[in-house]
Every structure is written in C-alpha cells, then in structure tokens.
Amino acid sequence: MLALVTDSTAALSRSEARSLAVDMLPMTYIVDGERIREQACERNEGYAERLCKARSVSTEAVRTLSFAKVFQRHLKAGNDVLCITISSRLSGTYRSACEAAALVNEPRTEGEPRVEVVDSHATAGALEFIVREARRIALTDNPSLPELAHRVRAVAERQRIVFTVSDMDALRRSGRLGAFSRAVVSTLNRYPIMELAGGAIAKVGMVRGVNAAARALVAQAPEDAHEFVISYFGERGAGTRRLLIALRRRFPSAVVRIKDGGPVLAANIGLGSAGLSWRA
C-alpha cells in the first residue's frame, strides 16, 4: 500500500484529503507572537482579519518530528510513503521532510516499506494537482516507490502556477521577492504577473488594471488545459470573480474550483492576491 503525505499549503479540504487518502501536515503562521496552525482550506476562519490587523506576521515550516511521526506510523502499518512538499525555495518544509525520511529509513532493510520525498517546486493549486496525479499513478499503474517518485518529479517539472498580488509589501517582507522589480503596484494600478519557475518566484509581465491582470493570468494556460484551481487569499473579492469570468471565456468547458489559498501563503504574498493553476 502507498501512503501520501503533503503539507497544508496544498489547500485541500478535509473531504478532499480523505478521498485522496493523504495526510496534510499543518504549517504554522505567527501573528503578533501567537502561533496558529494552518488547517484544511475550509477551516481557517478569521485569518484575513488577523493578518490585516497584525503588527508582525511570520510563518514556520512543518517540523522534522511531525513528519517523522507520520512516516513511522505508516511504515509500521506496512505502507510505503511518498511525501510531496511545497517548493524548497519557499519553505524549509522540504528539508524537514528529508531529515525525517533519513531518520526513519536508516534502519530499514531491503524490501521493507520506505519513504521518498519529492520537492514539488510548487504550492497551492499546483501542489494539489501534483498530489492528485501521484494518487492516480499509484492506483492505475501500481509502480514501485522509486518509480512513482521519479514519475511524480517529472509531473512537478511540468506543473505551473501563476499569480498576481495587490501590492508588493508582503513579498518584500517575506524575503522571497528575489530580483523582482520594486514597483509600487497599488499606487499605479499596475499588477505584476508572476510564476513559480524552478520553485522560485519569477516575473512574467506587468499589466494595468484588475481585468487585464485576470486576462494575463488566463493567457498563461495552454490550449489543452481542462481543469483549473483559482486560489484567493483573504476575502473572495472582485479580482476572483474577474479571473473566473476570464477563465470561462477562454475555457468554457473546463472544470474550475475556487479555493481559499490559506493563511500561510497569504502571510507571504499578501491579502488580496490571486493564483491560477491548471491540469493539461
């Protein structure tokens, strides 16, 4: 049997996590010194107000011990474990998972269940799609754990997420902005279009106005995209509606799910941000 493990930035609901048989370990966000665990995507009530009023906000990766406990439980049950995490360039969660895998794999002999860890180079809807594809491959082809990990890494290399933010302040504070332009977005009504490239934030372009931002995000999807996740951060507002309208105009038959991206990512990219992921 195969056990799947991921982190809470995949933003799965409780029912989705159950149907995929995946353990979703919580990351943590810290608001004015109070540590709060991120939950399933429908259970993070009030986080937008907390973040909006906060004097200081930070986030923490899933800890090594948390991964180790879950890995050991599955190994004792006779299950191989595939763990798929948020991009290692965005969080220390991948490192924690690797450390935990090294701990639990060390004494195991050939033929015993083991743990493999995959860096998704993604998060939010893109991470969700990778987890879903891992479960599909496991159920359809029943590959060995190393072969499954190899195939999931190939899936992760192809998976994309694009997003825009209402201002750059949260990204600057998070330290994940890199060499990206320091343009003041909200003042100029200009919206950066960004993607995760190689697991890090990269610039795609800059547009003026919310409608143009929605169209620019949708334009990044390939013609054969057929399933989408729209991620919003904070309140589900006009930007989300405009993104859905732009998506429906170009892909009228696609499956579209609109989901709260959660407090941990919101703390790092800012309330009011929006992301788009797809399966092609």
Kindly report, residue by residue over 43-68, the tens digit of the pLDDT.
999 999 999 999 999 999 999 999 99
Q: Which CATH superfamily is domain 2-27+62-158 in?
A: Dihydroxyacetone kinase; domain 1 (3.40.50.10440)
Q: What is the rounded CA–CA span in Å between residue 167 and residue 225?
A: 29
Which pLDDT score is estimated for 213? 95
0.85 exceeded by the pTM? yes
Across 113-127, 168-182, 241-255, least confident range: 168-182
β-pairing, 190-197 vs 200-208, is antiparallel
Which pLDDT score is estimated for 128? 98
CATH match of 161-279 with 3.30.70.260: no
Percent of the chain with pLDDT over 90: 82
End-to-end CA distance of the chain: 28
pLDDT confidence band for 186 (50 / 70 / 90): very low
The answer to whether residues 84 and 131 touch, using CB atoms and an 8 Å cutoff, is yes
The angle formed by the CA atoms of residues 212, 197 and 58, to the nearest 5 degrees, is 85
β-pairing, 200-208 vs 255-260, is unpaired
Among left, alpha and beta (phi > 0; psi -120 to 50; other), residue 105 is alpha
**Chain segment 115-164, per-residue pLDDT in tens:** 999 999 999 999 999 999 999 999 999 999 999 999 999 999 999 999 99
Contacts with 150 (C-beta within 8 Å, 6 or more apart), sequence order: none
Which pLDDT score is estimated for 187? 47
Per-residue pLDDT at 170 exceeds 60: no
Q: What is the rounded CA–CA span in Å between residue 265 and residue 271?
A: 9
Which pLDDT score is estimated for 185? 45
The mean pLDDT value for 100-123 works out to 94
pLDDT confidence band for 181 (50 / 70 / 90): very low
Q: In the predicted model, what is the mean pLDDT of the chain?
A: 92
Which pLDDT score is estimated for 184? 42
Task: Decide whether 2-27+62-158 matches 161-279 in CATH topology.
Answer: no
Q: Domain residue spans in the chain?
A: 2-27+62-158, 161-279
The answer to whether residues 159 and 120 touch, using CB atoms and an 8 Å cutoff, is yes
Which pLDDT score is estimated for 173? 61
